[in-house]
Structures are given as C-alpha cells and as structure tokens.
Amino acid sequence: MSGTEMAYLKGEVMPLADAKISIMTHALHYGTAVFEGIRANWNAEHEQLYLFRMREHYERLRKSAHALMMDLPLSDDQLCEITIDLVRRSGFKQDVYIRPMVYKSAELLGVRLHGVEDDFLCFLIPWGAYLDTTGGVHVVTSSWRRTEDQSIPVRAKVTGAYINSALAKTEAETAGFDEAIMLNEDGHVSEGSGENIFIVNDGVIYTPPSSDNILVGITRNTVVELAEQELGIPTVERTLDRSELWLADEVFMTGTAAHVTPISSVDRRVINGGETGPITAQLERLYFDAIIGNRDAYAHWLTPIYTDGYTDD
Ligand code: PMP
C-alpha cells in the first residue's frame, strides 16, 4: 500500500489514524448519522484515479441529512473540493473507497433529532472487490424484512438503519451464502444488504421501484442508463416476486461497493446454468470501462484526481 489513509474531521485534514471522536458522540449511541460510499477507481494505463459520480453522492447525502433534520453548511462544491483534496493528498494509486458522513457530533445523551449539533466528516481507505464475483455469487432470501418507510426513512442512507442490513448479511454469510436478498413487508423483492437487484427476462431488464423500500442506488441509475444507451435495452421498474428471481434468465446486483455483480444462484436455484448471462456480462464490462475512464461518452461521471501525468488521449 503506497499512500496514506486520510481523514477530514472537524474542519481539518489529518491522517486517518489521528481522526478521533468522543465516546459520548450522539451518533455512536443512537445511529444518528447519514453517510455515503464513493469509489475512486484506478486506471493504470492512464495513471489516473477517477472519482465516480461524486456529485450525485453528495446530492443524496444532502437529502439524507435533510430527512434527519441536519444542517449541512457546506455546499456541494465545497464537499467535492474537500473530497478531491483528501484523495489527492492520500496519494494512492489503487482503488479507494471514500466514506463521507454527516453525524450528530454533540456529546450528549438524549434520543432525538432536534437541538443536537451535527458535523461533516470524510475519510478514505484502499478497497478492492467487495464480493468475490468469480463465477457469480450465491444469494439467499433473508428471514429479515427490509426496513419499511413507516419505521425509518428508507430513501435516506441512515447509519442506524444498517442494523437491518447487518442482520441479513450475517444470516446469509453464516449459512454459507455470499449475500442476502430482503423482501419488504408485502413479501416483494426489495434489495440486497448493500446492493440493488435486477433480473433479465426475454431481453428485458426489471428492477424493483423505489416504492418497494429500496435505497435508490447511483449504480442502479448508471446501469439503467448504460443498458438503454449502449445496449438499447429498457429497464422496467416494477414490483418483483421472490420466485421471479429463481426463474429469471439472469439476475445481478449493483452497488458502489459491489459494482455489477452476477448472481449464480438464488435460494439454491441455479441461474442460467451457473454462468454469467450475456446481458449481465455486457453491463459488467460497460460499467467497468466507464468507471475507469475507458468510455469517453461517460467522462462526465468522472473526476480525475491527479493533475500531473494525466493524459486524456
Ligand atoms: N441499497 C443499500 C441498502 C445500500 O447500502 C447501497 C449502497 N449504497 C445500495 C443499495 C446501492 O447504492 P449505490 O449504487 O448508490 O452504492
């Protein structure tokens, strides 16, 4: 690892190892924080690290903060500048994962949102593949239902809500699967513990709508656009039943951490003979090319980090 893990805390930039907060921090006790995961992807040929759709992540962070009645005094431009500076200073020449957060920073006890001071922090670490996608992943329908919007705002990426994801992920992994798929209270397919889900049938792509309690993923939007623009394949947003996953031609997941991940079995039902299907394979390739700057048409999604040595030819 050549590079330094860096953090932005209380308005200052420092090595991640020095970034400390009090054990009385409100967010630690009550899950009162909202966050994002942003990737910067390394292209060895370009000798460049590209931040992917940073602005969209900060737009979602702002909405999440709004849902928890938080102040986010920094503008989107300032948030982007802080992030670029942090990644640049870290000096990594490999894939990194950036974790921005708005958290209730006040050192006080009391379960509430109002009248509790908040702050912005950000840090980054090198991070490669989240799921081992060689040969596709094995998923299982969770016994845990995806959090309903009546309980916790599902469109906001709230730290406390991730106990739902953690329960499902642990249940799946300790039972020998790679990932969990959660249904909503209606029994319809919602999403993975940290990914959105898609199926392909007769050349059409389907994915659950936001009203089925999903977090509306930025990778999800990216894949919908790539499928439409590059493959001429529309994505239909509609409620999906569990057994549609079993019987689909192809099933895949998307997420910042997971990229485009082919699913080779659902509840032990093998999908497409265990092989990655043709549309999933094309989307995986298109997505990977786009995030490392090998697709000019999508350069507007990228923010190059290193100004020295960068060539765009
Ligand atoms: N659902 C959940 C619960 C997630 O945590 C994530 C990861 N942020 C996603 C979906 C995918 O969202 P994105 O593509 O924006 O990373």
pLDDT tens digits, 236-266: 999 999 999 999 999 999 999 999 999 999 9
Which residue's CA is the nearest one to ligand 1's atom 13? Answer: 217
Determine contact, residues 157/61, Cβ cutoff 8 Å: yes
Pocket lining: 255 vs ligand 1, CB cutoff 6 Å: yes
Q: Which of 20, 93, 157, 169 is catalytic?
A: 157
Q: Locate the ligand 1 atom nearest the alpha carbon of residue 60 and give its number.
A: 15
Residue 1: per-residue pLDDT: 60
Percent of the chain whose pLDDT exceeds 70: 97
pLDDT tens digits, 162-198: 999 999 999 999 999 999 999 999 999 999 999 999 9
pTM given for the model: 0.96
Output the average pLDDT for the chain. Answer: 96
Q: Is 55 helix (H, G, I), strand (E, B) or coil?
A: helix
User: In the 8-state DSSP scheme, what is residue 111?
Assistant: S
Q: Is 120 helix (H, G, I), strand (E, B) or coil?
A: strand
> How far apart, in whole angstroms, are the C-alpha atoms of residue 143 and residue 301?
37
Beta-carbon contacts of residue 155 (< 8 Å; ≥ 6 apart): 63, 64, 67, 149, 210, 215, 216
Pocket lining: 271 vs ligand 1, CB cutoff 6 Å: no
Q: Distance of CA 126 to CAs 14, 55, 151, 190, 289, Å?
A: 16, 21, 34, 30, 20
Residue 312: per-residue pLDDT: 41
Task: Report whether pLDDT(296) > 70.
Answer: yes
Is 157 an active-site residue? yes
Task: Report whether pLDDT(310) > 50.
Answer: no
pLDDT tens digits, 276-294: 999 999 999 999 999 999 9
Residue 198: per-residue pLDDT: 98
Pair type for strands 96-104 and 235-237: unpaired
pLDDT tens digits, 43-98: 999 999 999 999 999 999 999 999 999 989 899 999 999 999 999 999 999 999 99
Percent of the chain whose pLDDT exceeds 90: 94
Q: Distance of CA 275 to CAs 250, 280, 284, Å?
A: 9, 10, 14
Segment (H or E) for 261: strand 259-266
Which residue's CA is the nearest one to ligand 1's atom 9? Answer: 195
